[in-house]
Chain A
Amino acid sequence: MTDHDHDHDHDRTVKPMVDEITDFEVLEIALRELCIEKGIFTAEEHRRFTEFAEQIGPTPAAHLVAKAWLDPEFKKLALAEPMTASKEVGVDWMEPTGFGTPSDFTAFQILADTPTVHNVIVCALCSCYPRPILGNSPEWYRTPNYRRRMVRWPRQLLAEFGLYLPDEISIHVQDSNQKHRFMVMPLQPEGTEDWTEDQLVEILTRDCLIGVALPKAGVTTNVITDTRQAIHPGTAG
C-alpha cells in the first residue's frame, strides 16, 4: 500500500459538498413531467401505482408458507394453484392493472423443499423475483456477482450466507429468467411443532424464501443486514 493507507474510499464515494440534485433524479423528474403533459399516463395513474408499490413486502409470503406448514390441504393448494393460495394471504397477482404488475407477469410457482432437496432462486439475466408476494428484491440479489455465481457455484455461495448443506441434500437452483416467478417453501424446522402462524411468520425471513437461509427457531432476521443509505431516500423498499 501507499502512504494513503486508510479504509475509506474517497475516489469512489460521491459526497457532494452541497446537496445537489443527481443526474438520475433530473432525468426521472423530466421524464415524468413530459409523460403527464403528453397524456402518456396521468398523475393519478402514477399515484395509484406508487401506492400499490409502497405496500408490497415479504409478509404475505411468510404467511403463505406458515399456513402451508400448519394445514396440509392449504399446502396442496399452494403448490398446485399458487396464485389462488396467494389470495388467501391478501395478494391478487392480477392487481393493480388487471393483468398484474407488468414486470412480474402472472405465472407463479412455489418450490417446496424436501428432506433431500434444497431450492434456491436466482435470475441470471436480470432480477426476476416474486415481487407481488415477497416485495422488492434485496440489492445483493440483483448484483451481477450473485447472478454469475449461483448457477455455477451454489454450494460455495450458500456457504457465504452461512448455509452449509450436506452431500445428501441435492441443490436445485432455479434460474427464473423468463415469465415464471418462483419462491421457496422451506421445511418447517424442529422445535416449532406447536407454534402459531404468527410465531412461524417471525422466522420465515425473506432470505429463507429466496433459499439462501433455512428457518430456525430463534432466528428472525435476514442473513444480510448491512444496509447502504440512500442520498435522497424514498419511502419504499
Chain B
Amino acid sequence: MSTAAERAAQLDLVARLKSAYPELPDAPPPDLLDHDRITAYLKPVHDVGGEPDTPMKYENKQYELWEHMTYVICEVLAWRGIWLSEERRRIGNVDVGRAEYLGLPYYGRWLLAVARVLVEKHHIGLTELSERMAEVKARYAGGLDGRTLEAKPKSEGDGSGVKRNEHHKRAVGKGDPQVYAGQAGQPKFKVGDAVVVRELPVIFYTRTPEYVRGASGEIAAVAYESPAAEDETWDRPATPEWFYVVRFNMSQLWYGYTGTTHDVVQTEIPEHWLQAAK
C-alpha cells in the first residue's frame, strides 16, 4: 500500500523529468512548432552522434546478474525466431522515447524490448506479465536474505505452436548478412565514388545517422547486401540492397572542426540513402 503522500511524491518526481523544449508548453499548438523542432522531436533517439557533450569520468561496470540474463534472453529470442536483431535495436533503442532512452540503464532498455516484443507479437498477455511480476516480487518479499535470484518456471511448453520467423532457419550455415547475398543486383557505386547522403524525411527509425545527412563523402568499401534497417525492423519481407562504408572528411563534415584536414569518420549506409555527387 502506498500513502497519499507517497503517491503525490512520485508524481512530483515524474513531473520534474523533462524531455521537451522548456520554451514551449506541453502539447503545443502547431503554429508554435517549426520544422527544425518537429525534426528534433521525431529524431530517432538512439542517433546521438555529434551531439555536444562535456567530458565525464568513464568507468567499467560489473554486470548485474539480470543484465547478463537479459542479454541472453535477447539473443535466445533471435536464435529461436521470435525477432531479428534489427527489431530489438529499434524497440529497445528508439521506441522507448527520449526520457526512458536517457534515463534507464542500458540493459533496462533491452529488457523492456523483450517485454514489448512478446506482448506486441501476442506471445504473452500484459496482465499475465504483470501478475507474474507481482508473484516474483512476492517471492522475494523481505529481501533476498541470502537467497539467489532464480527463475522457477511452473512447466516447460513444447513450443510447437509458437509463431517464428523464417530468418532463424534460413540464416543457419550462412550468417547474416550473408543470407541476403546475391539478391540486390549490381551495386550502383564503386570504391572511390563521390556520393551525397540524401536528406530523406525520417520518422520512427533509420540507422543512417543525422550527422551525415546532406553531407558529401566517398565510397570506402562496397560492404554487403541486406535490407535497410528501416525496412528490416518490422518483421515483414524486405528487399535487400547494397550497403557501403562511406568516408567523410571531418574538417568538411563538422563546422569548426579542430583536428587535422585529413581526419575522417566512416559509417555504413544503404544504397537508397546515397546519390552520386554532382
Residues of A within 8 A of B (CB): 18-22, 24-43, 45-46, 49-50, 53-54, 93-94, 97-103, 105-107, 124-127, 136, 138-140, 142-149, 151-156, 160, 167, 170-180, 222, 224-237
Contacts and interface: CB of A to CB of B under 8 A. Distances in A.
Contact of A49 (B75, B132, B158, B268): B75
A39 B157 contact: yes
How many B residues are at the interface, by size bracket? 35 or more
Contacts of A179: 176-177, 224, 226, 243, 268
A232 B149 contact: yes
A125 B109 CA distance: 14
Given A49-B75, A234-B69, A43 B156 contact: yes
B140 interface: yes
A235 B63 CA distance: 8
Listed residue (A41, A102, A175, A176) with the most chain B CB atoms within 10 angstroms of its CB: A102
B24 interface: no
A169 to B, nearest CB: 8
Listed residue (B152, B153, B168, B254) with the most chain A CB atoms within 10 angstroms of its CB: B153
Contacts of A180: 223-224, 245, 268
A182 B57 CA distance: 25
A46 B111 contact: no
B152 to A, nearest CB: 7
Interface in B114-173: 114-115, 118, 123-124, 128-129, 132-133, 135-137, 140, 142-145, 149-162, 168, 171-173
Listed residue (A18, A25, A222) with the most chain B CB atoms within 10 angstroms of its CB: A25
Given A38-B123, A107-B175, A170-B263, 4 more contacts: A40-B162, A126-B93, A174-B267, A175-B267
Interface of B: 46-53, 55-80, 82, 84-85, 88-89, 93, 102, 105-108, 111-112, 114-115, 118, 123-124, 128-129, 132-133, 135-137, 140, 142-145, 149-162, 168, 171-179, 207, 209, 211, 223-224, 226, 229, 243, 245, 250, 254, 257-260, 262-270
A170 B118 contact: no
Contacts of B129: 30-31, 34
Listed residue (A43, A125, A231, A235) with the most chain B CB atoms within 10 angstroms of its CB: A125
A147 B142 CA distance: 40
A199 to B, nearest CB: 25
A187 B81 CA distance: 41
A107 B223 contact: yes
A210 to B, nearest CB: 12
Given A154-B263, A170-B262, A178-B243, A35 B73 contact: yes
B265 A228 contact: no
Contact of A98 (B47, B61, B69, B173): B173
Contacts of B155: 37
18 contacts: A24-B107, A27-B115, A28-B66, A31-B124, A32-B73, A33-B151, A34-B118, A99-B174, A107-B223, A107-B224, A139-B59, A140-B60, A152-B250, A152-B254, A172-B265, A177-B209, A179-B177, A227-B60
B77 A41 contact: yes
Nearest to B54: A145
B62 A233 contact: yes
A45 B153 CA distance: 14
A158 B74 CA distance: 32
B266 A29 contact: no
Nearest to B83: A102
A98 B266 contact: no
A103 B88 contact: yes
Nearest to B58: A140
A46 B153 CA distance: 13
Given A124-B47, A232-B64, A177 B207 contact: yes
A29 B263 contact: no
Given A167-B260, A173-B264, A179-B268, A39 B160 contact: yes
B152 A33 contact: yes
A137 B35 CA distance: 37
